[in-house]
Amino acid sequence: MAILFDFNGTMLFDESFQEASWRQFIEGKIGRAVTAAEFQRVIHGRNAEYSLSYFLQRPLSRPEIEALEEEKEAIYRDLCLHSPAFALAPGLETFLDGLQRAGVPANIATASGWNNVRFFFDHLGLGRWFPLEKVVYNDGTYPGKPAPDMYLKAAEKLGVPIGDCYVFEDSASGIEAGRRAKAKGVVQLLSMEGVPALPGVTLAIRDYRGLDPEEFR
């Protein structure tokens, strides 16, 4: 058995940072506010190519995507570093320690780019639980969630069949990616304001406090 984590909104409850950075970055470029529905449908759980192409209403080259994404993520990282709320989700460190003791391998499959992945490892101590070289991130070669590819690759890097993996997610697109990958189960983190437990998830939790790692052996 293994656990595959999404990161943003799942291991780090960063909805406020994400929304503030997107507003600061994109609203000046498009001349209007981003709606709550757009945050749920177009931003949360989606990769940068999908979100940027939607807002800018045109296809983008890979160099354009990378430059625009880094412009936005620099704002996001600055917000994180200046907030006491920049910390792993409640109970997560204890849960990850418990998975290690139980011999349950874990990996991350995130729509974040490389600079953000390094930022999270540098500032949140993720190397204590995850080998950086196994993390699956948005390098431009994977279709974005809800396509299952990132979770399939994350399982492959652990050497565990996807049918023996639980996916932990917060967004509708990520939950659908776990389903399409045919994971053993999908656990939903109820971290986003106004997003209820979705039909068909194995378990819905507010955070990791009291979650027993032995249940995932």
Count of beta carbons in the 10 Å neighbourhood of residue 193: 11
167 plus 92 within the same structural domain: yes
Given a contact cutoff of 8 angstroms between Cβ atoms, the answer to whether 6 and 109 are in contact is: yes
The confidence score (pLDDT) of residue 124 equals 98
95 plus 54 within the same structural domain: no
102 plus 204 within the same structural domain: yes
143 plus 204 within the same structural domain: yes
pLDDT tens per residue, range 4-13 = 999 999 999 9
Q: Which residues pair with 5 in a beta bridge?
A: 108, 168
Range(s) of the domain holding residue 62 = 15-81
pLDDT band at 44 (very low <50, low <70, confident <90, very high): confident
* CATH code for the domain of 66: 1.10.150.240
141 plus 46 within the same structural domain: no
- The residue among 116, 99, 100, 117 whose CA lies nearest residue 108 is 117
Q: Report whether pLDDT(84) > 90.
A: yes
Better pLDDT: 58 or 192: 58
Given a contact cutoff of 8 angstroms between Cβ atoms, the answer to whether 148 and 165 are in contact is: no
The confidence score (pLDDT) of residue 45 equals 84
Number of domains the chain contains? 2
Cα 2 to Cα 41, 49, 154, 214: the distances in Å are: 28, 29, 10, 12
* CATH code for the domain of 155: 3.40.50.1000
Residue 95's identity, in one-letter code, is F
Query: Residue 96 belongs to what H/E stretch?
Result: helix 92-102
77 plus 39 within the same structural domain: yes
The confidence score (pLDDT) of residue 134 equals 98
The confidence score (pLDDT) of residue 193 equals 75
6 plus 37 within the same structural domain: no
Count of beta carbons in the 10 Å neighbourhood of residue 49: 21
Percentage, residues of the chain above pLDDT 70 = 100
Cα 19 to Cα 14, 105, 190: the distances in Å are: 9, 32, 17
Percentage, residues of the chain above pLDDT 90 = 90
Given a contact cutoff of 8 angstroms between Cβ atoms, the answer to whether 5 and 130 are in contact is: no
pLDDT tens per residue, range 115-125 = 999 999 999 99
Count of beta carbons in the 10 Å neighbourhood of residue 203: 14
pLDDT tens per residue, range 134-182 = 999 999 899 999 999 999 999 999 999 999 999 999 999 999 999 999 9
92 plus 152 within the same structural domain: yes
At residue 168, φ and ψ (nearest 5 deg) are -110, 125
175 plus 100 within the same structural domain: yes
